[in-house]
């Protein structure tokens, strides 16, 4: 390409010389008889030609730079080829070492697979009792029951008794302790501050005559004198392990700012300052299917309160 450009420059230089000669010939003519337009045209053509020559020269300079770069790249290529030859030798050694390691690994993998299969065979040969335990464990994992530590529920059997009546079609239940009267205050306002926003809650009460009872609602405790329907609500005796469901179409809970938790029909009514004011229950068959009068509190209409715990419930 450089040779071609040099030939073009040579041709342009010859052309430049011819134009200069033509201009000189025309300028020799007397001033009145000169072909001024022709002279000007030739000068313009000469200018254009000179610009083209300069452009061609610039192209040659650029091509020379490219050639120098190619020479440099070629030297690098030669060096790289020498390095490649060295690398090929090292690579061959590496491949041989890799093949050796892969063969050792394959042998190791086979041994491990045999060992794993041996362990799997041992697992598959577990006794019927262990299989039953695995099923129970899996069932427990699916439910993922969690209880933040309280004092009223005494063991997992009591916890299971309550939660199985709450879970129903749900696979996961989480209980979080929202309110504990001995810690958060026995005032009604403290109960509402801690529990009003809970969508579902479980109330546990321990009376001073050592009776343990409570109730569940899927409604919040938020409201000023509001009485709410809840077909899922129930009250219970933890000592008797008995559930008393809501009577259809009856109101379930009362949301009273000056009272603690209230399950209607006076089945459970906790007063402000519960540790000194206590609570009350009522006769049977008032809003809930209790079987005896004052059944939840062990026969006492009015009872002293030793502890109250309220758990927020999350169901999935």
pLDDT over threshold 80, residue 284? no
Quick check: is 120 in a domain? Answer: no
Are 77 and 156 contained in the same domain? no
pLDDT at residue 212 above 90?
Answer: yes
d(CA 12, CA 50): 8
Choosing from 64, 97, 130, the residue where a domain stops is 97
Using pLDDT thresholds of 50, 70 and 90, give the confidence band for residue 31. Answer: low
309 and 210 belong to one structural domain: yes
Length of the chain: 316
Q: Which of 17-26, 112-121, 253-262 has the lowest mean pLDDT?
A: 17-26
Per-residue pLDDT at 143: 43
Q: Judge whether residue 263 has pLDDT over 50.
A: yes
pLDDT above 90: residue 215: yes
pLDDT of residue 146: 42
CA distance to 33, 153, 185, 202, per residue, from 222 (Å): 116, 26, 19, 15
Check pLDDT > 70 for residue 152: yes
Q: Are 294 and 203 members of one domain?
A: yes
**Does residue 138 lie in a domain region?**
no
| Residue 27 pLDDT class (50, 70, 90 cuts) | low
284 lies in the same domain as 154: yes
The number of domains in the chain is 2
Task: Mark whether 282 and 218 lie in a shared domain.
Answer: yes
Is residue 86 one of the residues assigned to a domain? yes
Residue 304 has pLDDT above 90, yes or no: yes
For 2-46, give the DSSP string.
HHHHHHHHHHHHHHHHHHHHHHHHHHTS-GGG--HHHHHHHHHHH
More confident residue, 140 or 124: 124
Could you tell me the pLDDT band of residue 307, with boundaries at 50, 70 and 90?
very high
Of 74, 97, 120, the last residue of a domain is: 97
Cα–Cα distance measured from residue 266 to residue 97, given in angstroms and rounded to the nearest whole number: 85
pLDDT over 90 (residue 204): yes
Are 200 and 301 within one domain? yes
**Exposure pattern of 142-152 as b/e (b: 16+ CB <10 Å)?**
ebebebeebeb
Highest mean pLDDT among 8-12, 70-74, 101-105: 101-105
Q: Supply the pLDDT for residue 148.
A: 44
Averaged pLDDT, 36-41: 69
In a domain, 113, yes or no: no
Mean pLDDT for the stretch of residues 116-126: 81
Residue in this structure with the two tokens 């933890």, named with its chain if needed: 238
Are 59 and 186 found together in one domain? no
Statement to judge: residues 164 and 291 lie in one domain: yes
* In a domain? residue 124: no
**Final residue in a domain of this structure, among 97, 130, 155:** 97
Pairing status of strand 305-315 against strand 173-180: antiparallel
Residues 62 and 179 in one domain: no
Range of the domain at 281: 145-315
Selection from 45-49, 109-113, 192-196 with the highest mean pLDDT: 192-196
Residue 205: what pLDDT?
A: 96
> Does 272 reside within a domain?
yes
> Would 114 be classed as within a structural domain?
no
Cα–Cα distance, 230 to 241 (Å, whole number) = 22
- Tell me the pLDDT of the chain averaged across its residues: 81
- pLDDT tens for 153-193 read 988 888 888 888 887 666 678 889 999 999 999 999 999 99
Domain match, 300 and 203 both: yes
Position 117 in a domain: no
* Mean pLDDT of the region 279-301: 81
Site of tokens 């209980």? 175
| Exposure string over 197-231, b if 16+ CB within 10 A, otherwise e | ebebbbbbbbbeeebbbbbbbbbbbebeeeebebe
pLDDT tens digits, 55-81? 777 777 777 777 777 777 777 777 777
Same domain membership, residue 204 and residue 279? yes
> Between 282 and 111, whose confidence is greater?
111
Q: Compute CA 68 distance to the chain's CA centroid, rounded to the nearest angstrom.
A: 58
Q: What is the pLDDT of residue 272?
A: 96
Strand order in 201-207's β-sheet? 146-147, 173-180, 305-315, 201-207, 212-217, 234-237, 242-245
Between residues 309 and 147, the one the model is more confident about: 309
Predicted confidence band of residue 142 (pLDDT cuts 50, 70, 90): very low
Percentage above 90 pLDDT, the chain: 35
Taking alpha carbons only, the member of 202, 205, 204, 199 closest to residue 222 is: 199
**Same domain (yes/no): 152, 82:** no
């Amino acid at each position: 390409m450089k040779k071609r450009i040099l030939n073009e420059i040579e041709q342009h230089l010859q052309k430049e010389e011819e134009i200069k000669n033509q201009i000189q010939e025309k300028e020799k003519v007397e001033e009145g008889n000169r072909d001024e337009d022709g002279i000007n045209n030739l000068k313009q053509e000469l200018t254009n030609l000179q610009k083209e020559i300069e452009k061609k020269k610039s192209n040659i300079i650029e091509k020379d730079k490219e050639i120098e770069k190619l020479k440099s790249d070629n030297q690098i290529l030669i060096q790289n080829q020498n390095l490649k030859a060295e690398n090929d030798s090292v690579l061959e050694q590496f491949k041989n070492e890799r093949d050796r390691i892969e063969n050792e690994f394959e042998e190791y993998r086979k041994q491990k697979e045999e060992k794993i299969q041996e362990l799997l065979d041992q697992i598959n040969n577990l006794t019927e009792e262990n299989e039953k335990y695995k099923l129970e464990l899996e069932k427990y994992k699916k439910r993922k029951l969690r209880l933040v530590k309280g004092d009223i529920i005494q063991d997992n059997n009591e916890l299971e008794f309550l939660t199985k009546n709450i879970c129903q079609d749900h696979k996961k239940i989480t209980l979080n302790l929202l309110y504990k009267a001995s810690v958060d205050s026995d005032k009604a306002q403290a109960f509402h501050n801690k529990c009003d926003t809970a969508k579902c809650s479980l109330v546990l009460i321990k009376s001073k005559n050592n009776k343990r009872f409570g109730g569940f609602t899927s409604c919040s405790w938020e409201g000023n004198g509001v009485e709410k329907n809840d077909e899922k609500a129930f009250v219970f005796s933890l000592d008797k392990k008995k559930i008393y469901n809501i009577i259809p179409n009856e109101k379930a809970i009362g949301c009273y700012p000056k009272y603690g938790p209230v399950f209607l029909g006076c089945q459970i009514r906790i007063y402000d300052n519960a540790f000194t004011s206590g609570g009350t229950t009522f006769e049977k068959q008032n809003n809930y299917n209790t079987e005896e009068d004052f059944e939840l509190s062990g026969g006492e209409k009015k009872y002293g309160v030793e502890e109250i715990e309220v758990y927020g419930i999350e169901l999935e």
